[in-house]
Structure 1
Amino acid sequence: MNKQSHSALLWIVAAGFFMQALDTTIVNTALPNMAAALHVGALDMRPVVVAYALVMAMLTPASGWLADKFGTRRVYFTAILIFVLGSLFCATAHTLNELVIARVLQGVGGSMLLPIGRLALLRSVSSEEYIGALAFVSIAGQVGPLLGPVLGGWFVETIGWHWIFLINIPIGAFGLFAVRRFLPAGAPVAPPPFDVIGFGLLSVSMASVSLALDCPVETHRALISSILFAVFVLTVVLYLLHAQRRPLPLFDLALFRERNFSVGLIGNLVARVGSSALPFLLPLLLQVQLGYSPLQSGLVMLPIAIVGTIAKRWVTPLILRYGYETFLLVNTLIVGGSIASCALISPGWPLALSLVQLAIFGATNSMQFAAMNSVTLKGLTPAQAGSGNSLFSMIQMLAMSLGVTIGGSLVGVFARHFDSTGLGYRLSFACVGTITLLSAFVFRYLNAPSARNTQPAVARG
């Protein structure tokens, strides 16, 4: 690959990373205005976030197989096209249902941008260049969350909420042109048969648990939630039975024999519930309850991204000094405590203290992701790495969906019970922070000698 094509490939993948990362954060600060435009309550907007994350979780395991079957360039081009079309439909939606359907389409494209972008690099650059290439495109994944809340607030105040989606169109158009012009075609290979049954069972299990945890307040909804939770348990059991019999299941159960992988996976799922709920709940609290403008609420969120980016460099020396098990135990307690402390944010609470709280959350949450990623994946063999990383990415997106679902539902439950929306937000922050605190006890079951002997590797969260 010549120098021009190499540089173009990096920018192509970086553009995909940027769109996917930006879209996970830019929506949050715009939700109250979008809700007003669509004539629904602000909390009723949570399906807009959940649908995107849940579809990404469902489809991530299929991305590698699709790239093998149809070729990396063709699938990556299709992923960008679907994402851009989904963005266009989001911008032109006139009802909440239309917007949710458009977000589902956007999630279909988004689910392939990150994993296939990494695969394109792996197949197109030399092993000596791969780490540097991945570091370059990962910058886009850090810039997206940095700009997202502020950019979303600015768009809402100046040119309208539709532009939080329309911004993807010129970026995507550049990506489509560049993919056709510079990305090597790559001959499709003959992948093993895709585990359609396993894929279907896991997709149903994720959708059912997300819907079941949409906390019920009426009797009939409690019954529906119970049925959905039963479907979740049943599909998980059926997948385990299926994976034991199938020679090449979607995710081999042998992955779970690596103790740190199993513990890390569970810890990630529990810890990320609070971490995913906070970016959804806080802009709503600031705008709906405290009277902040969208741009002001976006600026308040900025310390999370800025301090988080700086703090990543602290992870390796801290882990080398204290070990994974001690670091994760202490750091998780701080993350959970900082989330729960947002229950103190109220009309009389000083803004400076709020910024300190969010800076602490941003620093510890960033380190938490990096440490959890590293300890979960580094013990896998090379043969297990691809499948393990895919499952890990799926759990990350599922946790984001569950965090928004649980956080938003709790606000509604508490607000109805105490007849106070403000108290509903405060109690919800306390609850999701406590859930994250509980994951500290999960990390106590890490295989300490194995974790200690693993060189830390800072990974994108």
Structure 2
Amino acid sequence: MEKLPTSSKALRYLPFLVASAFFMQMLDATILNTAIPTIARSFNSHPLQLHSLVTAYMLTVCVLIPASGWISDKLGSRRTFLLAISVFSVGSLLCALSASVTMMTVCRVIQGIGGAFLMPVGRLVILRSYPRSMFVNVLNIVTIPALLGPLLGPVLGGIIVQYASWHWIFLINIPVGMAGLWATWKLMPDLKAVREQKFDWPGFFLFSSSAVLATMGLSSAGGITDKPRMVILTSAGGILQLLYWLLAFRSKAPIFSPALFRIRNFAIGIAGNIVCRLGGSCLPYLMPLFFQVVLGYSALQSGMSLIPLALSNLLAKTVAPRLLGKFGYRNIMVVNTFTIGALLASFHFVGPGTHELILLGTLALLGGANSIQFTCMNTLTLIDLPNADASSGNSLLSTIMQLSIAVSIAAASLLLDSFGGHSATSGKAVETAFHATFATIGAIAAASSFIFALVDKDKGITRKRRKAA
């Protein structure tokens, strides 16, 4: 394994290079949502039918994450990172030049191919380049800009749409990408595996195809005539997923080992992640549409209104460890999940006449509750993994997180269609469809509390033990 260049400059600036790549990806994941109604008008489409622009990117990132480590070991970390930034930047340029929804969806897939490698490879380089004593401090530098992406994305998207055009949402990635290429060439170590490891290509194909088909099935439902196609695609996805796990039981080196699910808290964490995120992960997509289509906000107003959600999400991360130490995983997640469900469902009562302070206060509470929930879910999932399974378990969790976002957005769009939102001819009918959708996703999110009730009662509690000692 090649070591980090001895240059102190490389050591000093490498975390900022990785952080800027994280920021670019996280910004891109949130900046588009605010611009969807404007893009829809540009393409003479309905805003509620443009969810494919978001799901195409998320789904591509999801299916390529399992292969990112193997490709990095094969090509070297520097070459992989250079390739990822290049593909992401080219995809951004093509998105800006798109002349139709279909063309932009394809270009978002190209963007996703590059974006899929930025986070995993960047995190892997940091892990391999610094001693464990420095790892926490370095990782903090890397993750803080990534947390700012969801805060700045909607606002920046609103400003760009309001004062320029939606094309600049993608074009701003070009100069950032050019700077990233130069910095990667100068600072990134070229780490490769000493021994080439065999990759589970059959398993990768089955798992990825399953995710794509299931999400396409949910995304394809646009009327009664599309229901058979939805059933066929989602059923095919389910069958391929079953085949993957049957193959994984017999494989010597599966991409995701079934043995991981023998670890109780890992199994609970993955199941809870899927259900909880299925309910709440569509919010960054759904809220800008609700603001602009139902409440009549401008793109800038919509982006500014999401600041309480993102800011409380950021601030609450400092509270979660202390709450865990005092109350434990089960107590926090059961209560918090019900809270998230109730807050999501409360948007059923929000309309054009709702006072802004009530709306912004609800979003702030929801952002804080989501932050605590995601911190608890992720740490619960990984906390009991032995070192030998840490890489595979973390990769599966990352894949599930990305897949849940794509499926959640597709499911929210399906719900809006089922409640008449896509075909509605009046503003009141669209508002009713949104209200019913919020109530449904709230119920789904709250249902995950029954899964988290299976966690051991004292898991995570540390303060009582200190007092007892």
Calculate the TM-score normalised by the size of structure 1. 0.95
**TM-superposed deviation, 1:218:** 4.1
Q: Is the 8 A contact 1:70 1:188 kept in 2?
A: no
**TM-superposed deviation, 1:275:** 2.0
What is the distance in 2 between the residues matched to 1:320 and 1:384? 25
Q: Which of 179, 204, 211 is 2:209 aligned to?
A: 204
Question: SS at the partner of 2:98?
Answer: coil
Q: Percent identity?
A: 39
User: Could you report, residue by residue, the CA deviation over 1:184-233 in whole angstroms, capped at 9, with x for unpaired residues?
Assistant: 12344333211110001001111122122237464442221221222122
**TM-superposed deviation, 1:367:** 0.8
- 2:92 aligned with 1:87, yes or no? yes
Question: SS at the partner of 1:213?
Answer: helix
* Amino acid paired to 2:375: A
Q: Which of 438, 445, 455 is 1:429 aligned to?
A: 438
**TM-superposed deviation, 1:403:** 1.2
Which moves more between the two structures, 243-252 or 412-421?
412-421
What is the distance in 2 between the residues matched to 1:267 and 1:26? 28
Q: Is the 8 A contact 2:326 2:461 kept in 1?
A: no
Q: Is the 8 A contact 2:71 2:80 kept in 1?
A: yes
Matches for 1:215-226 after TM superposition, within 5 Å: 216=221, 218-226=223-231
**TM-superposed deviation, 1:31:** 0.4
What is the distance in 1 between the residues matched to 2:182 and 2:315? 34
Q: Which of 163, 168, 190 is 2:168 aligned to?
A: 163
Aligned residue number for residue 323 of structure 2: 318
Q: Is the 8 A contact 2:66 2:399 kept in 1?
A: yes
Which moves more between the two structures, 341-350 or 46-55?
341-350
Aligned residue number for residue 338 of structure 2: 333
Q: Which of 225, 237, 252 is 1:232 aligned to?
A: 237
Q: Which of 393, 410, 422 is 1:388 aligned to?
A: 393
Q: Which of 159, 172, 178 is 1:173 aligned to?
A: 178
Structure 1: state its 5+ residue gaps. 456-461
* Amino acid paired to 2:366: F
Matches for 1:367-382 after TM superposition, within 5 Å: 367-382=372-387
- 2:75 aligned with 1:70, yes or no? yes
- 2:49 aligned with 1:44, yes or no? yes
Aligned residue number for residue 291 of structure 1: 296
Question: SS at the partner of 2:50?
Answer: helix
Question: SS at the partner of 2:334?
Answer: helix
**TM-superposed deviation, 1:32:** 0.3
Q: Which of 120, 123, 126 is 1:121 aligned to?
A: 126
* Amino acid paired to 2:408: G
Structure 2: state its 5+ residue gaps. 1-5, 465-469
Say if 1:88 and 1:189 are closer, same or farther in 2 by CA, change over 3 A.
farther
Aligned residue number for residue 197 of structure 2: 192
- 2:261 aligned with 1:256, yes or no? yes
**TM-superposed deviation, 1:375:** 0.5
Which moves more between the two structures, 162-171 or 92-101?
162-171
Say if 1:331 and 1:31 are closer, same or farther in 2 by CA, change over 3 A.
same
Say if 1:172 and 1:143 are closer, same or farther in 2 by CA, change over 3 A.
same
What is the distance in 2 between the residues matched to 1:47 and 1:418? 20
Say if 1:361 and 1:192 are closer, same or farther in 2 by CA, change over 3 A.
same
User: Could you report, residue by residue, the CA deviation over 1:264-303 in whole angstroms, capped at 9, with x for unpaired residues?
Assistant: 1111111112322221111111112221110001010000
**TM-superposed deviation, 1:402:** 1.1
Q: Which of 389, 399, 408 is 2:404 aligned to?
A: 399
Q: Is the 8 A contact 1:87 1:168 kept in 2?
A: yes
Question: SS at the partner of 1:349?
Answer: coil
- 2:282 aligned with 1:282, yes or no? no
**TM-superposed deviation, 1:450:** 4.9
**TM-superposed deviation, 1:337:** 1.2
* Amino acid paired to 2:177: G
Q: Is the 8 A contact 2:125 2:191 kept in 1?
A: no
* Amino acid paired to 2:361: V
- 2:447 aligned with 1:438, yes or no? yes
Q: Which of 366, 381, 391 is 1:361 aligned to?
A: 366
- 2:418 aligned with 1:413, yes or no? yes
* Amino acid paired to 1:365: N
What is the distance in 1 between the residues matched to 2:462 and 2:395? 24
**TM-superposed deviation, 1:446:** 2.0
Q: Is the 8 A contact 1:69 1:190 kept in 2?
A: no
The RMSD of aligned alpha carbons is 1.7
**TM-superposed deviation, 1:39:** 1.3
Question: SS at the partner of 2:256?
Answer: coil
Say if 1:418 and 1:86 are closer, same or farther in 2 by CA, change over 3 A.
closer
- 2:30 aligned with 1:25, yes or no? yes
* Amino acid paired to 2:441: V
Q: Is the 8 A contact 2:155 2:304 kept in 1?
A: yes
Aligned residue number for residue 467 of structure 2: none
**TM-superposed deviation, 1:236:** 1.6
Matches for 1:135-154 after TM superposition, within 5 Å: 135-154=140-159
* Amino acid paired to 1:264: G
**TM-superposed deviation, 1:131:** 1.1
* Amino acid paired to 1:2: S
Say if 1:210 and 1:141 are closer, same or farther in 2 by CA, change over 3 A.
same
What is the distance in 2 between the residues matched to 1:215 and 1:330? 35
Q: How many residues align?
A: 455
What is the distance in 2 between the residues matched to 1:260 and 1:131? 24
* Amino acid paired to 2:194: V
User: Could you report, residue by residue, the CA deviation over 1:317-349 in whole angstroms, capped at 9, with x for unpaired residues?
Assistant: 111111100100001111111111112220111
Q: Which of 45, 58, 65 is 2:63 aligned to?
A: 58
User: Could you report, residue by residue, the CA deviation over 1:410-452 in whole angstroms, capped at 9, with x for unpaired residues?
Assistant: 1122126886111001111111111101111111122445555
* Amino acid paired to 1:440: S
Which moves more between the two structures, 255-264 or 419-428?
419-428
Aligned residue number for residue 99 of structure 1: 104
What is the distance in 2 between the residues matched to 1:19 and 1:189? 31
- 2:223 aligned with 1:214, yes or no? no
Q: Is the 8 A contact 2:19 2:145 kept in 1?
A: yes
